[in-house]
Amino acid sequence: MNRDKRQEIFTRWRDANPEPTTELQYSNPFQLLIAVILSAQSTDVGVNKATRSLFRKVTTPAAMLRLGEAGLKQHIKTIGLFNTKASNIIKTCGILAEQHNGKVPEDRAALEALPGVGRKTANVVLNTAFGQPTIAVDTHIFRVSNRTGIAPGKDVGEVEKRLLRLVPGEFKRNAHHWLILHGRYTCIARKPRCQSCLISDLCEYRHKQPD
Residues noted as catalytic: 120, 138
| 65 neighbors 98 (Cβ within 8 angstroms) | no
| 33 neighbors 64 (Cβ within 8 angstroms) | no
User: What is the three-class DSSP state of 181?
Assistant: helix
Supply the DSSP symbol for 209.
P
Q: Which helix (H) or strand (E) holds 116?
A: none
188: burial class by Cβ within 10 Å (0-12, 13-18, 19+)? middle
| 153 neighbors 161 (Cβ within 8 angstroms) | yes
Q: Which helix (H) or strand (E) holds 28?
A: none
> What is the number of other CB atoms lying within 10 angstroms of the CB of residue 14?
16
Supply the DSSP symbol for 59.
-
User: What is the three-class DSSP state of 85?
Assistant: helix
| 26 neighbors 55 (Cβ within 8 angstroms) | yes
